[in-house]
Amino acid sequence: MKRIHLHLMSDSTGETLEMIAKAALAQFENVDVVRHFWPMVRSRQHLDRIVPEMTSNPGLVLYTLVNADTRQRLEEHCRHLALPAVPVLDQVTEALEVALGQEAHGRPGRQHLMDDAYFRRVEAIQFTIAHDDGIGHEEWEEADILLAGVSRSSKTPTSIYLANRGYKVANIPLVVESPPPPALYQLKHPMVVGLTSSPDRLVQIRRNRLLTLNQQARTAYVDGERVKAEVAFARRLFAENGWPVIDVTRRSIEETAAAIIKLLGEHEREQPGRFEGVKPI
């Protein structure tokens, strides 16, 4: 297995850099990556304090530094240490400068300013947490998206991920013995999306869940035939109401969220103004 030291250096929180590195690393297998994370690097002095660690653990340097002086200092260190250094946002920024006909503002952490988008995301997260697992159905009309599915079909983690993108999300577990509240069928603003999964996968996830809770794994909750009936019940409900369905069996949370955002865009084009003001962050 190949081992690599990866130095991630940012003049802000480093969140963007981490996401880029994670996405790129997902393309490789059998690699042992040792991450060295250096956020809020905004001075030559701070940078110089990091150099001994880079010297001891040579590897690839990825950075998002907008201050010209700090960037130059880092590049000098990397040349001296013979370390490859990649400014990961430069090509994108340059392309945008050409397309927009203006120069980029070289301000560290600009994407994290507490603007309207920031407060919208905070509001979305608060709403989503307060409307998890079928809670607060009286306020579902305020949601942008409502996720429905049987237990352990990734409703909650997908909801939280979408909330971090600025969407207000509610979700409801579908239980054969307990019909959803009538409010579910009367919604006008939220886009309702059904999440489903293969029964075998659900049984596996549920068993693991019970084991982590030190509970008996021989219950109806993990009975194969019972789970098949639950999935069939949910699919009938989705079909009867014309709700789009996403099979999460082989999807990551990020992939499921991306599919939902795409559906939201399609609905907006079909019904202009329905989701006005709802934009991903």
β-strand partners of 86:
62
Question: In 3-state terms, the chain is what percent helix, strand and coil (to 5)?
Answer: 50, 15, 35
The answer to whether the annotation marks 153 as part of a ligand binding site is yes
Are 249 and 198 contacting, i.e. CB atoms less than 8 angstroms apart?
yes
β-strand partners of 178:
175
The answer to whether the annotation marks 151 as part of a ligand binding site is yes
The answer to whether the annotation marks 109 as part of a ligand binding site is no
Half-sphere exposure for 66 (CA within 13 Å, toward CB): 16
The answer to whether the annotation marks 149 as part of a ligand binding site is yes
The answer to whether the annotation marks 156 as part of a ligand binding site is yes
CA angle 103–101–13, rounded 5-degree value:
40
The answer to whether the annotation marks 197 as part of a ligand binding site is no
Query: How far is Cα of residue 235 from the mean position of the Cα atoms in its chain?
Result: 26
Query: How far is Cα of residue 229 from the mean position of the Cα atoms in its chain?
Result: 31
The answer to whether the annotation marks 34 as part of a ligand binding site is no
Give CA–CA dist 125/167, Å, rounded: 8
Residue 166 host element (H or E) = none
Phi-psi region of 101 (alpha: psi -120 to 50; beta: other; left: phi over 0): left
Kindly report the number of other CB atoms within 10 A of residue 28's CB atom.
10
Closest CA to 260 of 150, 144, 123: 144
User: Where does residue 98 rank: exposed (0-12), middle (13-18), buried (19+ CB within 10 A)?
Assistant: exposed
Which amino acid appears at position 267 of this protein? H
The answer to whether the annotation marks 12 as part of a ligand binding site is no
**Paired tokens of 117:** 């988008």
Q: Which residues contribute to the annotated binding site?
A: 149-156
Binding residues for ADP are: 149-156
